[in-house]
Amino acid sequence: MELIEYSCRDLLSWLERGELTAEGLTRAYLQAIHQRDPRIRAFVYVSEVEALEQARRVDEKRRQGQPLGKLAGLPVAIKDVLCTKGVPTTCCSKILQNFLPPYDAHVIERLKQEDAVLIGKTNMDEFAMGSSTENSAFQITRNPWDLERTPGGSSGGSAAAVAACEAPLSIGSDTGGSIRQPASLCGIVGLKPTYGRVSRYGLVAFASSLDQVGPFGHDVYDVALLLEVIAGHDHRDSTSVPAPVPPYRANLEEAVRPLTIGVAREYFGEGLDAEVEQAVREALNVYRRLGATIKEISLPHSKYAVATYYIVATAEASSNLARYDGVHYGYRAKRFDNMIHMYSRTRGEGFGAEVKRRIMLGTYVLSRGYYEAYYLKALKVRRLIKEDFDRAFAECDVVAGPTSPTPAFKIGEKTANPLAMYLSDIYTISCNLAGIAGISIPCGFTKNGLPIGLQLLAPPFSEDKLLRIARMYERETDWHLRRPKLT
Amino acid sequence: MPLKPEEVRWVAHLARLECTEEEIGLFTAQLNDIVSYVNQLQEVNTEGVEPLSHCLPIHNVFREDTPGVSLKVDEALANAPARKGDFYAVPAVLD
């Protein structure tokens, strides 16, 4: 294995023992970016100079015997939706193309405090709206396992960066599956924390009651490490919860016993690819062999999750994105007749098609005469979806199923049909509506060599248990050790 | 009750989104697809169900009103497309 292909547990131990320097490691990843990213296109911005400076500072601190952070010397790639002081933050939108944030997001502050090396910003669907990263205003990211296919989305750049070994860790955001679905399609681990676990301060808002920031890594340990760093209370986000952050890595190897895994029959219905189903059923057998009880359950309102989501998320987005007005920051149209025309032309020229579509849908469902029939109705169904999970978690520790109904799809395959694209999030969306935690871990490959992901969903603030349960499976399998062949 | 292009044009106006006629045509078709899909929610019995706007058991969060450091004027205005002195510059609001 090449250096860049190792996971953080190994990299950290070599760094600690002085067998590897942060600068050397950072150079290795920068070289991988130079070699591989022209094909993958995971990054929209590479902080080459700053990253090397940061790495040298970490090496210097280590030489002087100063205390070091948990991520000392590890490069981390950041989805371009998090504000990074003085580093472009575009949300891959033309409307924010020249935006240089005057402050760091809470998550970025935490990464810096723990001596991470911020290596660059990654591609995404514009404003995190999409499931394939094809809605980026700047570039198309390719799946490292098959360059003809998408990496999923919306955090497709962050997932592809780790899968292609251009960074050992990355940060994404998940509003309806935008961490778990690309993790699944790229064969890595991705975790959506409980709503309120990670501060959203400095995360560019899409749908504020659903958005969460979360980690990507090659394995469960790496994701636990990164979650330890980014989780925790921050008074600048009033929805961030002041619950203590457990040391997620400390008892990762302890199996959860007894363990009851709920399998929702609704997650194995029409539209599920046969190879995906087989891999997920085989994963359940692994848990069975480990002594888990597999219990069939029902989440009866699952079939309404996508519809509920596309009302709630677009309504919130239509309000959140009102801030792009050509006044405070970002793009402003060159020619206009008056103030209102300045707004509408700026937004008409600055936003891409999917963002416009969602703002329009959100505006429509909130407009007079439709608010009750759509928005209020969706909020009621949202409660029913959450209550389905409350009932499920009363009798099982986690709910397991496929992360995505299909493996990675072809570039261009779903762009003409927004609804077909929305349905690729059918298994991940409920988790955000219910505010619970979810993880996707590699559980196999199709015969064409495309990764398959297993999704585990857990009650609020039980990430420690969720990670341990994920690790139980990982220890029995070697899917997480595979790397795509890229030279 | 399918959306007509006039309604889509009205929604675009409410959202302050300038759209070409071609976009209005495309969005009318696509929004109709999506709206007819989300209409399946009407079949769910939600009588007596309280709306859920977020999942946390919190309602309001207070903290001490302690003064902190704010952005300097130049930092706050650095990203503005147009600036006049210490203010954001906008086109005339009144004719």
CATH of the domain at B36: 1.10.20
Preceding peptide of A258 cis, ω within 30°: yes
**Residue A165 · residue A199 · CB < 8 Å:** no
Contacts of B19 in chain A (CB under 8 A): 348, 356
Beta bridge partners of A262: A295, A399
- What letter does residue A481 receive in the DSSP assignment? G
The answer to whether B59 contacts chain A (CB < 8 Å) is no
Q: How far apart are CA A350 and CA A307, in angstroms?
A: 27
- Backbone φ and ψ for A155, nearest 5 degrees, come out as -85, 40
Q: How far apart are CA B86 and CA B82, in angstroms?
A: 11
3-state secondary structure of A119: strand
Retrieve residue A244's tokens.
Answer: 């203590």
pLDDT by residue (tens digit) across B15-58? 999 999 999 999 999 999 999 999 999 999 999 999 999 998 87
pLDDT band at B60 (very low <50, low <70, confident <90, very high): confident
Is B94 domain-assigned? no
Q: Of A357, A367, A373, which has the smallest distance from its Cβ to B14's Cβ?
A: A367
Percent residues over pLDDT 90 in chain A: 97
Q: Distance from first CA to last CA of chain A, Å, rounded?
A: 12
3-state secondary structure of A385: helix
The answer to whether B69 contacts chain A (CB < 8 Å) is no
Please state the domain count of chain B: 1
Contacts of B93 in chain A (CB under 8 A): 339
Contact state of A347 with B63 under an 8 Å Cβ cutoff: no
Q: Of A307, A340, A419, which has the smallest distance from its Cβ to B41's Cβ?
A: A307
Arithmetic mean of pLDDT, A289-312:
97
Classify strands A260-264 and A398-402 as parallel, antiparallel or unpaired: parallel
Is B87 domain-assigned? no
Q: What is the CATH number of domain A3-254+441-452+464-481?
A: 3.90.1300.10
List A7, A47, A70, A79, catalytic entry: A79
pLDDT over 90 (residue A240): yes
pLDDT band at B2 (very low <50, low <70, confident <90, very high): confident
Is B34 domain-assigned? yes
Q: How far apart are CA B76 and CA B72, in angstroms?
A: 6
Q: How far apart are CA A50 and CA A362, in angstroms?
A: 40
Helices (H), A236-334: 274-289, 305-320
pLDDT band at A465 (very low <50, low <70, confident <90, very high): very high
Is B24 domain-assigned? yes
Is B38 domain-assigned? yes
Mean pLDDT of chain A: 97
Higher local confidence (pLDDT), A423 or A108: A108
Q: Is A178 a catalytic residue?
A: yes
Q: How far apart are CA A245 and CA A464, in angstroms?
A: 9
Q: Is A154 a catalytic residue?
A: yes
Beta bridge partners of A399: A262, A457
**Residue A259 · residue A292 · CB < 8 Å:** yes
Tell me which H or E stretch contains A386.
Answer: helix A377-395
pLDDT over 70 (residue A244): yes
- What is the domain partition of chain A in residue ranges? 3-254+441-452+464-481, 303-379
The ipTM (two decimal places) reads: 0.95
Contacts of A316 in chain B (CB under 8 A): none
How crowded is residue A97: how many other Cβ atoms within 10 Å of its Cβ? 15
pLDDT by residue (tens digit) across A413-459? 999 898 889 888 999 999 999 999 999 999 999 999 999 999 999 99
- A301 min Cα distance to partner chain B (Å): 9
Retrieve residue A55's tokens.
Answer: 């790495």
pLDDT over 80 (residue B95): no
pLDDT by residue (tens digit) across A367-379? 989 999 999 999 9
pLDDT band at B61 (very low <50, low <70, confident <90, very high): confident
Is B37 domain-assigned? yes
pLDDT by residue (tens digit) across A155-190? 999 999 999 999 999 999 999 999 999 999 999 999
Helix pair angle (B21-38, A305-320), 10° resolution: 140
For residue B34, what are the domain limits? 5-43
* Residues sharing a CB contact under 8 Å with residue B66, sequence separation 6 or more, in sequence order: none
Q: What is the pLDDT of residue B58?
A: 79
Is B91 domain-assigned? no
Q: Is A13 a catalytic residue?
A: no
Q: Of B18, B23, B79, which has the smallest distance from its Cβ to A99's Cβ?
A: B79
Q: How far apart are CA A361 and CA A355, in angstroms?
A: 10
Q: What is the pLDDT of residue B41?
A: 97
pLDDT by residue (tens digit) across B78-93? 999 999 999 999 998 8
pLDDT band at B94 (very low <50, low <70, confident <90, very high): confident
Q: What is the pLDDT of residue B1?
A: 55
